[in-house]
């Protein structure tokens, strides 16, 4: 049940802090976007301090995703339209080439050579424009590809995000109705991550996530892939792998985290990981595979954390 009085007090407190930022700091910061960001950060920190759990990064990503999808779809439609027009021009050029040959074979009173030269010049100019159009198409295709890639990347860790995971897992599992695949997934969660944020601050928490992301990328093969699943949760797909080989890599990551201390502003941060692993079974869907790994992760948490559970 939402407490209206608590919310009112929270908003008043946030407004006072924001007013203070505008009066005391806004004039010193030249970049307006930094002022706005600081105001937004202030409001979300007040929310968190009052017990409301909300991740500004995920909130903004959720709001921006539909706009991003819309931009990509518009760009794709424009490209298709451009390609269709380009094809039409190519067809017209071919028709003109045929007409040139017909005219050059006819015997009549017009200056056939002059007429043919004019048409050949037209053909040259048209083909030149076609080349420019093709160059533009290739450039636009590269931009769309880059836009799609960016929409699949987690802005903090630079790992692929949950949206990219769902798309790739669906593609990998396409043939799974007929046979069992050599595919293993591991769900990973940073133990007591809230304690890290509360003790050392959110920047320290971000550094922990960045460290773990880099460790995951450096520990897996080029055709395996690591994703930020959400918050302090990660997921790794071991493709063309056995459960035994994936287990070796996963346990090595567990030990590296367990036996290393992170230093942030001369303070030592010790973290551990809980992991849930499962291998593909015939007929698995992306949902069933993730649910099984998540259940194994939950069991690892329940059994005392800092461990791997396999289901």
Backbone angles phi and psi of 189, in degrees to 5? -135, 135
| Residue of 77, 70, 297, 30 lying closest to 185 (CA atoms) | 297
Nearest-angstrom CA–CA distance, 6 and 50: 9
| E strand residue ranges, the chain | 183-190, 225-230, 233-239, 262-264, 267-269, 273-279, 307-310
Please give the radius of gyration of the chain, using alpha carbons only, rounded to the nearest integer: 29
Which phi-psi region, left, alpha or beta, contains residue 219 (left: φ > 0; alpha: ψ -120 to 50)? alpha
Nearest-angstrom CA–CA distance, 162 and 236: 11
Exposed, middle or buried: residue 45 (CB in 10 Å: 0-12, 13-18, 19+)? middle
Q: In what order do the strands lie in the sheet with 225-230?
A: 225-230, 233-239, 183-190, 273-279, 307-310
Catalogue the active-site residues. Answer: 232
Helix axis angle, 32-49 to 4-24, nearest 10°: 150
Nearest-angstrom CA–CA distance, 227 and 61: 16
Q: Is 138 helix (H, G, I), strand (E, B) or coil?
A: helix
| Residue of 230, 241, 223 lying closest to 280 (CA atoms) | 241
């Amino acid at each position: 049940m939402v407490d209206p009085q608590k919310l009112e007090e929270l908003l008043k407190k946030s407004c006072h802090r924001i007013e203070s930022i505008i009066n005391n700091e806004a004039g010193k910061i030249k970049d307006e976007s930094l002022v706005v960001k600081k105001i937004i950060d202030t409001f979300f920190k007040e929310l968190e301090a009052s017990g409301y759990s909300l991740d500004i990064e995920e909130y903004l990503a959720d709001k921006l995703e539909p706009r991003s999808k819309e931009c990509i779809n518009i760009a794709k439609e424009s490209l298709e339209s451009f390609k269709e027009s380009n094809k039409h021009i190519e067809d017209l050029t071919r028709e003109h080439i045929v007409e040139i040959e017909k005219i050059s074979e006819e015997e009549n009173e017009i200056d056939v050579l002059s007429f043919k030269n004019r048409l050949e010049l037209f053909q040259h100019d048209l083909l030149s424009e076609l080349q420019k159009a093709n160059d533009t198409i290739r450039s636009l295709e590269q931009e769309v590809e880059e836009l799609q890639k960016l929409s699949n990347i987690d802005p903090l860790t630079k790992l692929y995000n949950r949206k990219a995971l769902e798309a790739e897992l669906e593609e990998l599992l396409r043939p799974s109705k007929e046979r069992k695949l050599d595919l293993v997934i591991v769900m990973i969660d940073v133990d007591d991550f809230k304690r890290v944020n509360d003790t050392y601050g959110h920047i320290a928490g971000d550094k922990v996530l960045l460290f773990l992301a880099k460790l995951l990328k450096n520990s897996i093969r080029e055709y395996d892939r690591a994703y930020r699943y959400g918050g302090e949760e990660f997921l790794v797909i071991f493709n063309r792998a056995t459960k035994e080989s994936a287990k070796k890599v996963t346990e090595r990551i567990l030990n590296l985290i367990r036996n290393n201390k992170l230093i942030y502003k001369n303070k030592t941060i010790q973290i551990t990981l809980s992991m849930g692993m499962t291998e593909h079974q015939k007929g698995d869907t992306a949902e069933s595979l993730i649910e099984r790994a998540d259940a194994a992760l939950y069991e690892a948490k329940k059994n005392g954390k800092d461990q791997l559970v396999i289901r």
